[in-house]
Amino acid sequence: MAAYTLYIVTVIVVLLLLSMLKVLREYQRGVIFLLGRFWRVKGPGLIIVVPVIQQMVRVDLRTIVMDVPTQDVISRDNVSVKVNAVVYFRVIDPEKAIIQVEDFLNAVSQLAQTTLRSVLGQHELDEMLAERERLNADIRGILDQQTDAWGIKVANVEIKHVDLDESMIRAIAKQAEAERARRAKVIHAEGEMQAAEKLTEAARTLQQQSQALQLRYLQTLTEIAAGGRSSVVVFPLPMDLIEPLLKGKD
């Protein structure tokens, strides 16, 4: 009977000792509480936790990738869009992450949702579509500042999708088409202006050089004759062209 009792006691002691041993991986830390009060952060490796007297909460230090659910956002120019994003963060202070906030994962998710709506609501639709890098940096900065008290570091925020309804997509397409037409008209007008300037410059040059005007006249006659058409062309002969010839004859 005594041997049986000793055997039972030995088994209980062995199980108690085994339950005291905890193994934490390289990316894990253990927040130890002693009789309900914070004691220290342990790990990684083999640690000892005294049952009943001490309690341990495991904390993962790896980067966490969190999807922010789709949010309904009204832009500054009163356009309703649906936006979702992804947040990359990690715990850098296990003590704060466990003590300062009840559930840091849920807290970061809720804060990311409200910050996403708040920041994007201050910008127009064109900025949401064209300036994502700046908006990502603004959201990340706000989140990182707010979560610092929780021992959390926000590494990056990426806006994934900005979804519009069909009517808004058609309106944007019409706007883009109108912009392309406007640019085409501007380019055409600039080309006409440059051509007019060149023609004006050429006219001034011909006006100053009578010999050049005569050569241009003869070149035009040659081009007409080289056309090979049998039709008769009546081409007026300006007097100012033959005047120099007549003076030279005298």
Q: Where are the domains of the chain?
A: 12-59, 64-169, 209-222+235-250
Q: How confident is the model at residue 239 (pLDDT cuts 50, 70, 90)?
A: low
Whole-number Å distance between alpha carbons of 111 and 105: 10
Q: Does domain 64-169 have CATH number 3.40.109.10?
A: no
CA 56 → CA 26, 44, 52, distances in Å?
16, 13, 11
Q: What pLDDT, on a 0 to 100 scale, did the predictor assign at position 214?
A: 61
Average pLDDT in the 194-198 region?
Answer: 82
Report whether pLDDT(248) > 60.
Answer: no
pLDDT in the model for residue 103: 93
Retrieve residue 193's tokens.
């202006």
Say what the pLDDT of residue 29 is: 95
CA–CA dist 64, 109 (Å, integer): 11
Token duo for residue 224:
């007409």
Band of residue 90 on the pLDDT scale cut at 50, 70, 90: very high
